């Protein structure tokens, strides 16, 4: 049975292909591997400039649990460890290791961990971590960290939906590597100990669906088709669709005994655990109206230029977007490297953007929000920077999917407003926290001074009383002595 979450939008792949394929990209002449990943601390290089490295060799390590190690994706020479522009909307530079290829692609040989069915959960999680695996659907969250928390997991969900229209890399991967995907899911099942696994796949991916069915002989694994509708791949919406369970904004899926993993991550886990191959390549979709769309398996760290050239771009000026057409980010240069989270590159001819008009209160945006927000209302509050009101209208639940943008006849970039309002609210909250902290510090200081004053006064009173008591005691003593002396004198006088 097909379930569906509320709202969302149906968007056809703008650049469909007759046959979904994976083309092996040639080895790049050099790779640039960023040490800063999506979250966590920057990894520390364990090689130096001039070192010879083999493919799969560890080149940067970390002790931060939100970060993963980095491996050489080609064999060759380390020629630089310096700041390079990374594919990020900030356009900023970050520390990277650059390796120049020796053209041999010689792999490092490591100890194979053996049959995963006989490995403990801890050994398998360690293997996932040491292989540098992160969520390959675009989130980039370190997989071992998520699996580590999956202790009371009842349901494992494998997200085999493409996160956005136009992206085909997961579809291609399932068609080409269905056996490997199923085995990767079985490794995950062993780690999580879930009672059941659901592989969720959109109903427009019949070839991939059939391929998975053919290789799945595990009765704990079910392959479920869901309607092809943007944003069905968003984790909480997918859980709602499959299990009819709502995960509140401040909770995680694991709080309800659910673990979600992307289908490409499952394949990477197969590569690591069964094939002893760390994460050094990934499948990337290159699409858009300026290229011939296709999927390429490419080494991490190869430039966007290296892979875009394979999709035969036309000679017109281009706009390049990393990630999907909806939630991706524009990149200014093709010189940036492919990272673990680069699932898609859109290359489009430069076109004039439609001009933004006033809101005509048509309410169309309210009909499509997959998390049941009121974008029109949020827009007014975001525009007037009234973040308090916007938060009362659940701005924090907005997943910035841009469904509302797509239907807006006035072409208002609503999601951009919401992203800005969220950032503003974060800043205001931080400032408020700072002021609160300063106020509390001041109040505590005042309290401390007052308390000291009272304590000092109490101490003075105590000392005064003690002195008074002592003086009274002394006086009694003195009187007694005077009386005794008088008695002695009297006795002496009477004796004489």
Q: Residue 410 Cβ, how far from ligand SF4 at the closest point, in Å?
A: 4
Residue 401 is assigned to a ligand binding site: yes
| Residue number with CB closer to ligand SF4 (59 or 403) | 403
> In this chain, which stretch among 100-108, 111-119, 359-367, 429-437 interacts with ligand SF4, using CB under 6 A?
359-367
Residue written as token pair 């053919």 = 214
Choose which of 172, 198, 365, 391 interacts with ligand SF4 (CB under 6 A): 365
| DSSP string computed for 90-111 | T--EEEEEEEEE-SS-PBP---
Q: Is 169 marked as binding a ligand?
A: no
404 belongs to an annotated ligand binding site = yes
Site string for ligand SF4, 396-425 (x = CB under 6 A): --xxxxxxx--xxxx-x-xx--x-------
d(CA 411, CA 317): 23
Binding span for ligand SF4 by CB under 6 A among 119-127, 277-285, 353-361, 384-392: 353-361
Binding residues with ligand SF4: total (CB under 6 A): 29
Candidates 181, 223, 371, 421; binder of ligand SF4 (CB under 6 A) is: 371
Tokens of 231: 């944003």
Nearest approach, Cβ of 389 to ligand SF4 (angstroms)?
Answer: 15
Q: Distance from CA of residue 439 to its chain's centroid?
A: 34
Assigned token pair, 421: 């309002």
Does residue 346 have a cis peptide bond before it, meaning omega lies within 30 degrees of 0?
no
Would the annotation count 344 as a binding residue?
no
CB-nearer residue toward ligand SF4: 167 or 192: 167
**H/E run at residue 482:** helix 414-495
Please give the Cα distance from 379 to 419 (Å, whole number): 11
CA 348 distance to own-chain centroid = 27
Least Å from the CB of residue 270 to ligand SF4: 33
Interface residue with ligand SF4 among 250, 361, 492, 494 (CB under 6 A) is 361
Q: Determine the interface stretch with ligand SF4 among 191-199, 202-210, 287-295, 362-370 (rule: CB under 6 A).
A: 362-370
Candidate residues 331, 373, 390, 391; the one interacting with ligand SF4 per rule CB under 6 A: 373
Q: Rounded to the nearest whole angstrom, what is the least distance from the CB of residue 287 to ligand SF4 in the complex?
A: 22
Q: Rounded to whole angstroms, how far apart are CA atoms 411 and 42?
A: 39
Comparing CB distances to ligand SF4, the nearer of 360 and 485 is: 360
The smaller minimum CB distance to ligand SF4, of residues 226 and 398, is found at: 398
Cβ closest to ligand SF4, residue 217 vs residue 361: 361
Q: Which of 189, 344, 375, 422 binds ligand SF4 (CB under 6 A)?
A: 375
8 A C-beta contact, residue 218 and residue 211: no
* Between 311 and 404, CB nearer to ligand SF4: 404
**Tokens coding 78:** 């380390």
Please report how close the Cβ of residue 343 comes to ligand SF4 at its closest, in angstroms: 20
3-state class of 233 per DSSP? coil
Is there binding between residue 359 and ligand SF4 (CB under 6 A)? yes
CB closer to ligand SF4 out of 3 and 377 = 377
Question: Residue 276: what are its φ and ψ, rounded to 5°?
Answer: 55, 45
> Does residue 369 bind ligand SF4 (CB under 6 A)?
yes
The answer to whether residue 379 forms part of the interface with ligand SF4 (CB under 6 A) is: yes
Residue 146 and residue 403: Cα distance in Å, rounded? 28
Rank residues 16 and 363 by Cβ distance to ligand SF4 and give the closer one: 363
Q: Is residue 304 within 8 Å of residue 331, measured between CB atoms?
A: yes
Half-sphere exposure of 414 (CA within 13 A, CB side): 33
For ligand SF4, the binding residue among 376, 382, 387, 417 (CB under 6 A) is 376
Please state, in angstroms and as integers, the Cα–Cα distance from residue 89 to each residue in 93, 129, 136, 156, 479, following that order: 11, 27, 19, 32, 93
Alpha-carbon gap, residue 357 to 408, rounded angstroms: 10
Measure CA 402 to chain center.
19
H-type helices in 369-413, by residue range?
375-383, 387-392, 403-407
Q: How far is the CB of 239 from ligand SF4 (least distance, A)?
A: 16
284 CB contacts (<8 Å, ≥6 apart)?
169, 295, 296, 297, 298, 307, 338, 342, 343, 344, 345
Among 369, 437, 426, 377, residue whose Cα is nearest residue 403: 369
> CA-to-CA distance for 42 and 96, rounded, in angstroms?
10
Return residues touching ligand SF4 (CB under 6 A): 359-365, 368-369, 371, 373, 375-376, 379, 398-404, 407-410, 412, 414-415, 418
For the annotated binding site for [4Fe-4S] cluster, the residues are 359, 362, 365, 369, 398, 401, 404, 408
For the annotated binding site, the residues are 359, 362, 365, 369, 398, 401, 404, 408
């Amino acid at each position: 049975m097909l379930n569906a979450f509320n709202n969302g939008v149906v968007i056809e792949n703008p650049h469909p292909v007759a046959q979904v394929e994976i083309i092996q990209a040639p080895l790049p002449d050099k790779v640039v591997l960023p040490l800063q990943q999506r979250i966590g601390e920057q990894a520390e290089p364990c090689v130096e400039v001039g070192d010879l490295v083999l493919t799969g060799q560890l080149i940067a390590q970390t002790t931060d649990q939100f970060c993963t190690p980095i491996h050489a994706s080609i064999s060759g020479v380390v020629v630089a460890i310096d700041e390079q522009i990374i594919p990020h909307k900030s356009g900023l530079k970050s520390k990277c290791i650059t390796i120049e290829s020796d053209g041999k692609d010689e792999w490092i040989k490591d100890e194979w961990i053996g049959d995963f069915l006989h490995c403990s959960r801890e050994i398998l999680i360690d293997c996932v971590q040491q292989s540098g695996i992160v969520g390959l659907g675009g989130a980039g969250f370190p997989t071992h960290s998520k699996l580590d928390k999956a202790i009371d997991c009842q349901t494992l969900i494998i997200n085999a939906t493409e996160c956005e229209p136009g992206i085909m890399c997961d579809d291609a991967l399932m068609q080409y590597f269905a056996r490997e995907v199923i085995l990767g899911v079985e490794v995950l099942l062993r780690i999580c100990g879930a009672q059941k696994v659901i592989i969720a796949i959109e109903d427009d991916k019949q070839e991939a669906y059939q391929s998975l069915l053919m290789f799945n002989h595990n009765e704990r694994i079910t392959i479920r088709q869901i309607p092809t509708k943007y944003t069905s791949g968003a984790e909480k919406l997918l859980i709602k669709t499959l299990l009819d369970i709502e995960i509140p904004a401040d909770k995680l899926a694991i709080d309800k005994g659910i673990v979600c993993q992307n289908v490409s991550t499952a394949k990477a886990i197969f590569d690591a655990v069964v094939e002893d191959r760390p994460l050094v390549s990934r499948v990337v979709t290159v699409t858009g109206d300026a290229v011939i769309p296709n999927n390429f398996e490419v080494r991490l760290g190869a430039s966007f230029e290296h892979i875009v050239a394979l999709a035969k771009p036309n000679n017109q000026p281009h706009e390049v977007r990393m990630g999907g057409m909806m939630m991706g980010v524009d990149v200014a240069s093709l010189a940036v490297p492919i990272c673990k989270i680069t699932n898609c590159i859109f290359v489009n001819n430069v076109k004039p953007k439609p001009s933004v008009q006033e809101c005509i209160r048509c309410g169309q945006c309210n009909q499509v929000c997959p998390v049941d927000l009121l974008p029109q209302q949020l827009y007014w509050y975001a525009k007037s920077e009234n973040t308090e009101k916007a938060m009362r209208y659940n701005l924090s639940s907005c997943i910035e999917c841009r469904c509302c943008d797509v239907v807006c006849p006035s072409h208002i970039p609503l999601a951009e407003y919401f992203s800005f309002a969220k950032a503003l609210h974060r800043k205001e909250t931080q400032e408020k926290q700072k002021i609160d902290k300063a106020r509390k510090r001041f109040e505590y200081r005042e309290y401390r001074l007052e308390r000291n004053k009272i304590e000092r006064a109490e101490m003075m009173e105590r000392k005064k009383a003690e002195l008074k008591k002592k003086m009274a005691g002394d006086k009694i003593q003195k009187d007694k002595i005077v009386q005794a002396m008088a008695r002695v004198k009297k006795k002496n006088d009477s004796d004489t």
